[in-house]
Amino acid sequence: MDPISATMFLALASGVVGGMTKVGEEVIVNAYNALNDAIKFVCGVDSKVVKAIAEVEQNPTSKSRKGVVEEEVQAAKLDQNPEIAALAKQLLEAIEKSPKAVAAIGVDLKHIKGIALKIDDVIATGGGVIINDAELTGDITITKVRAGFDPKAHPSA
């Protein structure tokens, strides 16, 4: 997954956009909005990537909508745009500095070096996966994380 899409999905998972605010951290909301606004400026407000992002904001758990965002981000070559990459980095840093956002996401990564990071299918209302100071030579895949929730309330999880 490209870093632009991955960072946007982390922000959505933390619940800071689209009226779904679980965390309400203003710095994260501002960083997300700055990234989204820059994408609109670079690609145009009626572009496929902007429409795909709006769709995933409406349903942030939809794997198919996330897939469309990834495709459109790659098609627009946003990961090669230094301004977009810098804004995505700022958003990721804001998320990492927020204990509430990390708890909402359920994955806490600090000082990780790897080829690629894939996080999929996380349900958390508290701690989940915590990794600090790791340098890996291959890809990192984290999937099917369940933390701090009642499985009886979510039987399909």
What's the confidence (pLDDT) of residue 35?
Answer: 93
Whole-prediction pTM value? 0.64
In Å, how far from its chain's centre is CA 140?
A: 15
What's the confidence (pLDDT) of residue 129?
Answer: 65
What's the confidence (pLDDT) of residue 103?
Answer: 57
Q: Which of 68, 38, 71 is nearest to 54 (CA)?
A: 68
- Residue 115 burial by Cβ neighbours in a 10 Å radius (0-12, 13-18, 19+): exposed
- pLDDT at residue 20 above 50? no
Q: What is the mean pLDDT of residues 76-88?
A: 92
Give the range among 22-31, 46-55, 121-130 with minimum mean pLDDT. 121-130
What's the confidence (pLDDT) of residue 100?
Answer: 64
- pLDDT at residue 14 above 90? no
Which of 8-12, 43-47, 54-58, 122-126 tops mean pLDDT? 43-47
